[in-house]
Amino acid sequence: MQAQLQKIRQRVESELNCSAHNLDHVDRVFHLAMTIASDLPLDLDILKPSVLLHDIARVHEDNDNSGKTDHALLGADMARDILLELD
């Protein structure tokens, strides 16, 4: 699982190259989520990739002057593709 999380993190880093929602943001959210999750009966194999991928399409939305890109919707598609690729 750790190797897959590292691959996801690398993909996120390559996407979030020019945004306030960069890898530092993702890391802060990840650590906060793990802190909160430590007291809850959660499946970390679902939570960890979800947190890493939560802003994967943020740069696409930020760069779309038309306002038609929703990073949550596009990010869900991108996350699905990444997760399927990593099996």
State the pLDDT at residue 1: 83
pTM, two decimals, is 0.87
Q: How open is the CA angle 70-51-32, to the nearest 5 degrees? A: 125
Q: Dihedral, CA atoms, 85, 57, 9, 1, nearest 10 degrees?
A: -40
pLDDT in tens, the chain (87 residues): 899 999 999 999 998 876 677 889 999 999 999 999 999 999 999 999 999 999 999 999 999 999 999 999 999 999 999 999 998
Q: What is the pLDDT of residue 22?
A: 85
Q: What are the structure tokens assigned to 83, written together?
A: 């997760």
Kindly state the DSSP code that residue 63 receives in the 8-state scheme: T
